[in-house]
Structure 1
Amino acid sequence: MDAIDRKILSLAQNNARITAAELAHHTGTSSSTCLRRLRALENQGVIEGFHTRVNPAKVGFDTQVIAFITLDREDRATVAALEDGLAKLPQVVMAERLFGDPDFLVRILARDLADYQRLRDEQLSELPGVARITSTMVMRTIVADGPIPLED
């Protein structure tokens, strides 16, 4: 990956709708070169997709929760089953396995506190290996999916 690829990535991650002509203008190359490089970065798995960011509150999800999950055991089967279970819950918008305690950090969208409580009591706590769930409410999101620093 050279400086032009990094510039293309930097521009594209800040504006997924940027045109090839705009990329060309900013990189000093042609539109066709930018398109070819962009597709190559996709094929190499550097670019994992293009997404539309939706405001959760505007679509009825007024409550965002960070849940910390601690497992009662960490064998491969239990971890895999928990990961699979989390991936199947549509309210889970991010889940990460952590070193240390707790074992998982999970970002959850809910319509309100009662909605989250139902999810926690009826689904999260029933996932394999869950020993403890602690939750905290998000007051305000400061940075959401911030860009990866690519330029030197």
Structure 2
Amino acid sequence: MAPMALSAPSPGQMDANRIEIALPVNLCPIHRSDCGILSTGGKILHRSLSFSLDGVDLRILRILSADGRASDVSIGERIHLSSSAVARRRKILEDIGIIQSYHAQMNMAALGFSGVVMVMIELRSQAENVLNEFEQEVIKCPSMSYCGFVSGDTDFIIMIHVNSFNEYDKIYRQELSILPHIARIRSSFVMREVARRSNPPGMFD
């Protein structure tokens, strides 16, 4: 059977309490609707499964984003749902990849890493092999906690936690300066952390 094309619903057809997402077929064992995502030219990009998040799913996600150890029983008590129903919904959210993992968030300052450095890296070229080679090497840096390929006047942003200027100097010399294809490195120390959120609360409204 040929995959169906997704068509955008009209405002009158949209349910404000539901979020429609498209998922790759291999991510979701629950076949809600088999479809294809269309580009603006009408070409099918990939087959996917349409899955709806309702208000109950969003409330579960809001609770878990604040406390990943929350039990199905405690979640059910807060949203007036049975623990078995919560467990089923949580399992679906895990299977389709919306919930990717559960982990402990560390207090880096309490561990001695009171400084945060944002490192902007510009490469000599944006050729595919250059980008690939840089990415393969940067993920090996033991001090790097985040790296992203960005638009604008730089190519990559790296976040590093340090306990002193001297430690960053050591990281700069032993890890950053030896990365391939670098044209320029700029570093900014975070003076004060204003807010830290793993998930913006507005995304669950």
**Mapped pair 1:66 → 2:134:** no
**Mapped pair 1:49 → 2:101:** yes
What is the CA-CA distance between 1:150 and the residue it aligns to?
3.1
CA RMSD of aligned residues (A): 1.4
**Mapped pair 1:96 → 2:148:** yes
How does 1:1-152 map onto structure 2 within 5 Å? 1-148=53-200, 149-152=202-205
Q: How big is each residue's C-alpha offset from its partner over 1:39-69, in whole Å with a ceiling of 9 and x where there is no partner? A: 2111111011111111112222232101011
Give the structure with the higher percent strand.
Answer: 2
Could you tell me how far apart the structure 2 residues matched to 1:95 and 1:21 are? 37
Q: Which has the higher contact order (CA 8 A, sep 6+)?
A: 1
Q: TM-score, normalised by structure 1?
A: 0.92
What is the CA-CA distance between 1:147 and the residue it aligns to?
2.1
Give the unaligned 5+ runs of structure 2: 1-52
Identity %: 28
Give the unaligned 5+ runs of structure 1: none
What is the CA-CA distance between 1:144 and the residue it aligns to?
2.0
Moved more, 79-88 or 100-109: 79-88
What SS does the corresponding residue of 2:109 show, helix, strand or coil?
helix
What SS does the corresponding residue of 1:121 show, helix, strand or coil?
helix
Could you tell me how far apart the structure 2 residues matched to 1:84 and 1:140 are? 31
Q: Based on CA coordinates, which of the two structures has the bigger radius of gyration? A: 2
Supply the AA of the counterpart residue of 1:90. Answer: P
